Every structure is written in structure tokens, then in C-alpha cells.
Structure 1
Amino acid sequence: MLQIIADGLIIGSVIALGAIGLSMTLSIVRFSNFSHGELLGWGAYLALVASTTLTAINSQWAEPLGPFSFGWSLLAAVVVAAVLTALMALLMDTILFKRLRKQGTITLVIASFGAALVLRNLLLFWQGGVPQYFSENLQIAIAVLPRSIAGGLRFTPDQLFILVLALVTVTGLHLFLRLSTLGRSMRAASINPGLARVAGIDPERILRATWLIGGGLAALAGVFAGITAQLRPNMGVELLLPLFAAVILGGIGSIWGAVLGGLIVGLAESVAVTVIGAEYRSAAAFMVLIAILMVKPNGIFGEKN
């Protein structure tokens, strides 16, 4: 049972990072961006290309670091991918969404569907449909708890790295939103855009920051998904529904709500894979979503309108 929970935490940490950016878009930009999932896929593949390029320059950079399956080349590639994906998200807003904001939410949602199709097919054309991996190195799971305690608990070093880095990233973002001037301005724009504008907060600056942060987090989530499984051009669309489920479950606009929602969705999927089969894991996650929303219609941390 503990191992099922552990697997759910790994899945949930990936979903949580992607859900944070989607939650910020929903609360600040104020529309459901269905192209957000494709940013995860692009972030993962950009990291793969950057890592391969750095390895070609110096093969020693690809040597595994300690117990991990990756080396310095992938760590540097994550930074490159996060920056490029953040710029891609900002560029998408500048070219497409910014021009359509006055047309209303429905127009933006439909445009995001179109953007998702374009990004997915461009990625498929660029990388092909064959799954790829960041590393071919095999790892042995580390026993965190002995089998005598509820069946034991095992993690691979890569999984532990993902859990720790996800926690550090979320904590850093929380402190940024709480303590920095820009972060407080983003929170104000999320709560009351009109009042924030009257107070002298530049809405365009807030929107740019939202797209940059959301894109960077999406890239990080995509890389984590690629490390734990494999890279596929359709990985973004496969993660999109769990991302929305996590955002709605946790409460739109809440960072920790998105994290908790992601963990709950991850745990539900992990239990479903073990109990009823992998093909029903998304259905199990949405059953949990429906059950919680019947008790808390605004999400766990959502506020009443």
C-alpha cells in the first residue's frame, strides 16, 4: 500500500507543477488555456535536444551524477528548456491571445484549442512519433522502508530527485508570490483586476510574468514526466485533463491548492492502475474530483464567489 502511495506522489508532483501554471493562467489571464499541456511536451523535447547538444560538445557532461541516471548536461538542459518554453508561452500570447482578449473568453478558449493542435503537430513533425528517453541507464530502487512495514517503500534516485526539486520549486514560487513586489501584484490582479489597475499595477506586466512563469513550470513538469517515463509528442494532451482536474480540485488561483489537487489526482491514478487497470486511471481521478466537488464546489482551497 505504501508503494502505491509513493508512486502516486511521483505522478502527482509532475501534475502539480503543470497545474500551477494552468491555475495562474485561469486566475490572472482568466480563460482556460487548452494549449498549456503542449508546453509540457515542448519543454521535455527542448530539454532532450539541449542535453544531446551539450553531450556532443563534451561527452563527460553526460556521465551520471552519483546514483542518478543523468549528468550535468541534463541539468543544464532543464534550465535552457525552461527559458525557451517560457519565451514560447509569451510569444504565443503576443501573437495570438493578446489580439483576441477583447473578443471574449469563448474566443480565447477556441483559439487555445487551435494553438494546441498546431504545437502538437509541429512537435510531431520535428521529433517524429517514436518514444524517446533522456537516459538509457537502468536504476535500482532504493528501499526507504523495509518490507515488514506495510509491504515496504522503494524509490529510484531519479524519483527522489523529482520529489525534492518539485518541493523546492513550489516553495520558491510561494515565497516569490508572498514576498516580492511583482508576486504581490500578481496576487492582487488575480483577486481583483479592476482594483489592481486603479492601484497603479500594470496589467500587461502581470500578464507577461504569468506566461513566463507558467511556461517555465510547464517545461519542468514535462522534463519530470520524461525522466519517470518516456517522451512522446502526445504527452501534453495526455496530461491536460489531469492538470485541469488538479486545478479545479484544489481551487482555481491557489498555488497550494494546485499542488494538493495534483497529489490527489496522482494518488487516484496510482490506486486505479493497481486495482482496476491502467486504462481506467483517468476515470478514477475524475471520480475523486466529482466526489470532492460535491462537498466543496469551489475546490479544496477555493473561495466562494
Structure 2
Amino acid sequence: MLQIIADGLIIGSVVSLGAIGLSMTLSIVRFSNFSHGELLGWGAYLTLVASTGLTAANAALVAPIGPFSFGWGLLIALAVSAVLTALLALGLDTLLFKRLRKQGAITLVIASFGAALALRNLLLFWQGGVPQYYTQNLQIAIPLLPRSVWGGLRVTPDQIFVLTLTLVTVAGLHLFLSRSTLGRSMRATAINPGLARVTGIDPECVLRATWLIGGVLAAVAGVFAGITVQLRPTMGVDLLLPLFAAVILGGIGSIWGAVLGGLIVGLAESASVTVVGAEYRSAAAFAVLIAILMVRPTGLFGEKG
């Protein structure tokens, strides 16, 4: 039981970070961006390329940090990738979505489908279809509890790193949105864009910040997926449905709702592997989504219209 919960929290951490960016796009830009999942894939692979370049230039960056399977090269590469992925997200808006914004949400959704296909196939052409890994170092799971206690609990140091950094990232984003001027402007625009514009808030500045933050979070989520599982060019589309499930489950526009929704989706997928088999993971997550929406149609943290 405890192992299922731990595995679910690991999966949920990746889904939560990706879902936050998607939720911000839905609430501020006001359309369902189906290309958001591909930003996770690009962030993961940009980190791989940057890490390879850094470690080739300085072999000392390859050495693992303490008990982790990766070295400083990966962390530096993650910072580089976060910036590049944020610029990629902003570039998509500038070159595509901004030009179509006056055409309505349906046009934007269709355009995002096309952007997703283009990004996925470009990534496949660039990196090939063979799964890759950030490191070949093997990790042995650390037993935290004996098997006599609820079946025991074993986690790897990398998984602990992912959970910890997810909490730090979410807490930092919460402080930014609640304490900074730009963060409060983003929240005001999400609630009432017309009134926010009247009060002097620059909507274009808010939109740019939304894309940049969403790109950074997508890159971090993609790297976490690569650390805990593997890198695949299709990882973005594989994660897209869980991301949407987490956003809807938590309530559109709610940061903590996206986090909680992501954790619930992760727990549902983890439990389904043991109960009904790995092939029904997505179905189990959506079954939980439907059950909760029947009780609370606006999501766990959504506001009634």
C-alpha cells in the first residue's frame, strides 16, 4: 500500500508541474493548448543535449552528486533548458497564437493541434525514436520501511529529489503569484480580464509571463519524467491526457488544484497497475476524474459560475 502511494506521488509530481502551466494557459490565455505536452518533451531533450555538451567540455560535471545518479552537468543543463523552453513557448504564441487570438478559442485549439504535431515530429526527426536516458548509472532503492509495515516502502534518491524539488517549485510559484505585482496581475487577469485592463494591467505583459512560466514548468516536468522513467519523443503526447485530467479535476485556474489533481491522477495510475494492469492506467485516472466531477462539477478548487 505504501509503495503504491509513493509511486503515485512520483508520477503525480511530474503531472502536477505540467498541469500548472496548462491551467494557467486555460485561465489566462483562455484556450486549451494541446501543444503544451510537447513542451515537456522538448524541455527534456534540450536538457539532454545541453548536459551532453557540458559534460563533454568538463568531465567533472559527470560525477554523481552524493547518492543521486546525475551530476552538476544535468542541473546546469536543466536551467539552460528551462530558458530555451520558455522562449519556445513564447515563440509559439508570438508566431502563431497571437495572430489567431481574435479568431476565437476554436481556431486556437485547432492551431495548437497542428503545433503539437509539428513539434513532435521535429523532435522525432532530431533525436530519433530510440528511448534515451540522462545517465547509465543504476540506483538501488532505499528501504525506508520494512515489508512487515503495510508491504514496506522503497524509494530511490532520484525519486526523493523529484518530490523535494516539486514542493520547492510549487511553493516558489505560489509566493510569486500571491506576493509579486506581476503575479497579482496574472491572477486578476484570470478572474476578470476586462476589469484587469481597466485598472491599468497590461494584458500583453501578463500573456508573455504566462507563456514563459508555463515553458519553465514544462521543462522541469519533462526532466523529472526523464529522470524517473526515460526520454521518448512521444512523452509529450503520452502525458497530455493526464495533464488535462489533473487540470479539470483540480479546477481550471487553481494552482493548488492542479497540484492536487496531478497527485490524484498519479495515485490512480499507480493503484491501477496493481489492481487491473498497466494497460488501464489512463482509464483508471479518468474514472476517478468522472467520479469526482459527478460530485463537484467545477473541480476540487474550481469556483461556481
Q: For residues 149-298 of structure 1, what are the structure 2 equivalents within 5 Å?
A: 149-298=149-298
CA distance in 1: counterparts of 2:102 and 2:273, whole angstroms: 44
Structure 1 CA distance, aligned partners of 2:195 and 2:144? Answer: 50
Partner of 2:70: 70
What is the one-letter code of the residue matched to 2:293? Answer: L
Aligned equivalents of 1:303, 1:96: Cα separation in 2: 31
Gaps of 5+ in 2: none
Instruction: Find the aligned partners of 2:239 and 2:298 in 1 and give their Cα distance.
Output: 22
Partner Cα separation in structure 1 for residue 73 and residue 260 of structure 2: 31
Q: CA deviation at 1:233?
A: 0.3
SS in 1 for 2:143: strand
- TM-score, normalised to structure 1, is 1.00
Q: Given residue 236 of structure 2, which amino acid in structure 1 is its aligned partner?
A: G
TM-superposed CA distance for 1:150, in Å, is: 0.7
2:106 paired residue number: 106
Q: Equivalents in 2 of 1:231, 1:30: separation in Å?
A: 30
Match status 1:23 vs 2:38 = no
Residues in 2 aligned to 1:259 and 1:297: alpha-carbon distance in whole angstroms: 18
Q: Which residue of 2 aligns with 1:49?
A: 49
**Residues 66-103 of structure 1, C-alpha deviations (whole Å, 9 max, x = no match):** 10000000000110010000000000000000000000
Deviation at 1:154, TM superposition (A): 1.1
- Distance in 2, matches of 1:103 and 1:66, equals 53
Kindly tell me the number of residue pairs found equivalent between the two proteins: 305
Long gaps (5+) in structure 1: none
State, as a whole percentage, how many aligned pairs show the same letter. Answer: 82
How far residue 62 of structure 1 moved from its aligned partner, in angstroms, is 0.8
Paired residue type of 2:62: A
Aligned match of 2:85: 85
Question: Cα offset for 1:60?
Answer: 1.2
Question: For 2:13 and 2:56, how far apart are their aligned partners in 1?
Answer: 31
**Whole-Å Cα distance in 1 between the matches of residues 91 and 25 of structure 2?**
15
- Report the AA paired with residue 42 of structure 1: W
In 1, distance between residues paired with 2:145 and 2:50?
Answer: 37
Q: Secondary structure at the match of 1:248?
A: helix
Q: Tell me, in whole angstroms, the C-alpha distance in 1 between the residues paired with 2:146 and 2:302.
A: 39
Q: Distance in 1 between matches of 2:44 and 2:139?
A: 20
Q: Distance in 1 between matches of 2:62 and 2:81?
A: 17
Matched, 1:135 2:135: yes
CA-atom RMSD in angstroms: 0.4
Q: Render the CA deviation track for 1:260-304: whole Å, top value 9, x for unaligned.
A: 000000000000111111110000000000000000000000001
CA distance, structure 1, for counterparts of residue 277 and residue 220 of structure 2 = 28
Q: Distance in 2 between matches of 1:229 and 1:31?
A: 30
Q: Give the Å deviation of 1:125.
A: 0.4
TM-score (norm 2): 1.00
Q: Displacement, 1:146? A: 2.2
